[in-house]
Amino acid sequence: MEKFDLNDADVQLDTAGLNCPMPLLKAKQALNKMLPGTTLLVKATDPGSVRDFKSFVDLSSNKLLGNFAEKEEYYYLILKGN
């Protein structure tokens, strides 16, 4: 997916340095506190997070608006669903 502006998210979460499954668990905790229709930006360094976040949004009401990798960092922009 294409790169997006990192300042576009309502909430930002930095999980750099955390290994699987922590980036996804921290993102789930953040999403649980958010209102539907708001966006969460997650920064991760775990390459396994690519698979984890894709599976998560496929199985939830949340939507992955974009993701990209840059210098061994992975970014995900998630729209909170109902």
Q: Which of 11, 18, 20, 50 is catalytic?
A: 20
CA 17 to chain CA centroid, nearest Å: 15
20 catalytic per annotation: yes
**DSSP string across 10-49:** SEEEE-TTPPTTHHHHHHHHHHHTSPTT-EEEEEE--TTH
List the catalytic residues: 20
